[in-house]
Structure 1
């Protein structure tokens, strides 16, 4: 893609945030777009957010299951950026109007205590860099109409990121076997999905090492204090105004997100 097309695509996505109206798939508008182009579009939006006063607090990892990778025609995950404005409190209703087509998924969040910079980061390196674990919920959203996304569309759209809700009690990673950690996802008190940490590339630490190496190739280091969402343990579920969603992780704890009613002031 030409630089002007990258800026044009980023502007269309930013416009969807403002208007609340999804846009047609970028993969149709720019049929020659590559994964590298998609990350350029993503970065253009990150620059716009930081220029407006927001700042990057971490990253999210997506496409961690083999089934989703096969569906998207890729062989590795993708990533997006988490800015400060995307973090929401679990104790207050989240305005429904902030999203276009929200879904929600449970994830294990890493808070880093040491820098990680690839290439060459191993799982042991990743483990040593983690200061603590937190239970997390990610509201995923798409600025692409009807979620008709290819790999190019989701990467360009900041890996379909919407919002992050973190639990409040940090857990020492040495106390948890992340691969066998189980999760029950409840919608309004009823079990909606279950899963284990093994769904995330065998263990969420594999996802963290992958991310460090992926962004390291671009000269980016993951820094102390940053938050990394390691990828969904279950399928994403639909999220509607008024819903209360709880993720209960064995050994890590619970986190709840409440989506406000559409007509709430």
Structure 2
């Protein structure tokens, strides 16, 4: 296909099928090999098509035996939204293959360039479906709240990507683990729930629940409403990771990254 730009004629490769692009990203994940962003080759890739690629990759994961256990949110901080030019978080899928048992080291041989971020995570007590979900109705559907760590691992070289790239790549999903302390959301002041993130015992970053869309409940509501636009809902029993309280920290081999929360206990992972 040719695209005319002024006096120049630029050749652009046609966008291949959603199925083949999803397969390419899953192959990069399986082979632990970083690749160029999709938009380097397909500059017209938009958000709607990126979500179709993400959903197709989920279908392929299910076909190979994985099960959906929940969703995760990305770009929940105002600073990251400004950086990417968006006004709302993105959503991605979590499956049982992404669960990292407590005290299990990160499988570095299965990762490309892992990073870790602390999050507030909800376990849903009942189904939550948009549109029109508010933070209050979202929190009323939550059973318990946990501290968690998410391991992200973009399939793109040097973590370089646009918004459609990261959506198609399932928001850099890799692994997650939840802490041992579950709390009733009604007894917590979630915007003020604080977190200290340490690397090998040294303070690396701090954050509070308000860093997630102003309130983790707002992030949950936005996720339900966004999923509804694509015909999905948040099911009872699912977990919802509401987004990083701090920037993600690189996790090279031999590092221990830990997070201490005000009321939700501590959680750590060794890489």
**TM bracket (short chain):** over 0.9
Question: Which whole-Å CA distance do the structure 2 matches of 1:95 and 1:160 have between them?
Answer: 16
Q: Work out which of the two has the higher radius of gyration on C-alpha atoms and give 1 or 2.
A: 2
Tell me which residue corresponds to 2:211. Answer: 199
Question: Which whole-Å CA distance do the structure 2 matches of 1:152 and 1:32 have between them?
Answer: 10
Q: How many residues align?
A: 259
**Alignment counterpart, residue 143 of structure 2, candidates 126, 131, 134:** 131
Question: Which whole-Å CA distance do the structure 2 matches of 1:159 and 1:94 have between them?
Answer: 19
- State whether structure 2 residue 238 is matched by structure 1 residue 238: no
Unpaired runs of 5+ residues, structure 1, are 260-265
Deviation at 1:248, TM superposition (A): 0.8
Question: Which whole-Å CA distance do the structure 1 matches of 2:73 and 2:88 have between them?
Answer: 10
Change (3 A) 1:176 1:69: same
Tell me which residue corresponds to 1:140. Answer: 152
Name the TM-score, length of structure 1 as normaliser: 0.95
Deviation at 1:245, TM superposition (A): 1.1
Worse overlay, 89-98 or 32-41:
89-98
Question: Which whole-Å CA distance do the structure 1 matches of 2:15 and 2:162 have between them?
Answer: 21
Name the TM-score, length of structure 2 as normaliser: 0.93
| 1:90/1:258 contact within 8 Å kept | no
**Alignment counterpart, residue 116 of structure 1, candidates 115, 118, 128:** 128
Tell me which residue corresponds to 2:98. Answer: 86
**Alignment counterpart, residue 59 of structure 2, candidates 39, 43, 47:** 47
Q: Per-residue displacement from partner, 1:189-235 (whole Å, max 9, x unpaired)? A: 11110011111010110000000111112221211110000011111
Tell me which residue corresponds to 2:119. Answer: 107
Q: Per-residue displacement from partner, 1:128-165 (whole Å, max 9, x unpaired)? A: 00100111000011001111111011100001111101
Q: Per-residue displacement from partner, 1:92-113 (whole Å, max 9, x unpaired)? A: 2121112111111000000000
Name the SS for the 2:116 alignment partner: strand
Unpaired runs of 5+ residues, structure 2, are 1-12
Deviation at 1:257, TM superposition (A): 1.2
- State whether structure 2 residue 261 is matched by structure 1 residue 249: yes
